[in-house]
Amino acid sequence: MSIHLIERKSRVSELLFEINAVHCNLDEPFIFTSGWASPVYVDCRKILSMPRQRREIIQIAAAEIDTTIGRESFDVAAGGETAGIPFAAWLSDYYYKPMVYVRKKKKDFGRKSQIEGELKDGKKVLLVEDLATDGMSKVNFCNAIRDAGAEVDHTIVIFFYGVYPNAEKIISGAGITLHALSDWRTNLEVGREKGYFDAKQSKEIESFLDDPETWSKTHGGA
């Protein structure tokens, strides 16, 4: 991993702590839609209301795209319903490129579309999301984009939990390269260094990261 990438990840984590988007609750674990229990939670939606931090995060995302994907490698930015939509909008504006958004499933009325906006056959799409946990939603969005006749090889997220079994395998198995601006290992390191986590929290978070499946099952999750 390059020094610049490590620096970018650490800076994004700092910004997430700065806007109180990082939460730790050892008494009442967070339960995700997948059923997993976790002592920690990241609320990327807080970024919407914080213009200074939001601007810097989008600049970091653009640096990641330029470095690892290439701005010439995509024609359209696509936001996943719903949290990915504003981030895709900001990036499409940054690059002055078209944007669409992808629904979780097709509408059952009107045109019964799953993709809103104009997406022409053969266009190269960058999927933009706020975060990734088990990776399944990213695969579903990319399948919808491909079904519409476009191409998608990359997805960028603000935050990747980076601990759930098979998540990276699920994403890469679908022919998608995941680019994450930060992850929980980085959050733990920054949280310790900056004093956001005390010793008890740090120890429990590390236990979760080392074996999330066991931690979840022993704390009421799947």
pLDDT given for residue 3 in this prediction:
55
Share of the chain above pLDDT 70, in %: 96
Nearest to 163 by CA among 132, 201, 138: 132
Q: pLDDT tens-digit profile of 108-143?
A: 665 668 999 999 999 999 999 999 988 899 999 999
Mean of all residue pLDDT scores within the chain? 94
Lookup: tokens for 200? 């008890």
Q: pLDDT tens-digit profile of 143-185?
A: 999 999 999 999 999 999 988 878 889 999 999 999 999 999 9
Residues found in the chain = 222
Backbone phi and psi for residue 134, each to the nearest 5 degrees, phi listed first: -90, -10
What is the maximal distance between C-alpha atoms in the chain?
A: 55
Instruction: Label the pairing between strands 115-116 and 124-132.
Output: unpaired
pLDDT band at 206 (very low <50, low <70, confident <90, very high): very high
pLDDT given for residue 108 in this prediction:
63
**Cβ(37)–Cβ(219) under 8 Å?**
yes
Domain 3-217: which CATH number of 3.40.50.2000, 3.40.50.2020, 3.60.15.10, 3.40.50.720: 3.40.50.2020
Nearest to 132 by CA among 4, 214, 34: 34
Q: Strand runs (DSSP E) across the chain, as ranges?
A: 22-24, 30-31, 37-38, 40-42, 76-80, 99-102, 115-116, 124-132, 151-160, 177-183
Share of the chain above pLDDT 90, in %: 85
pLDDT given for residue 18 in this prediction:
98
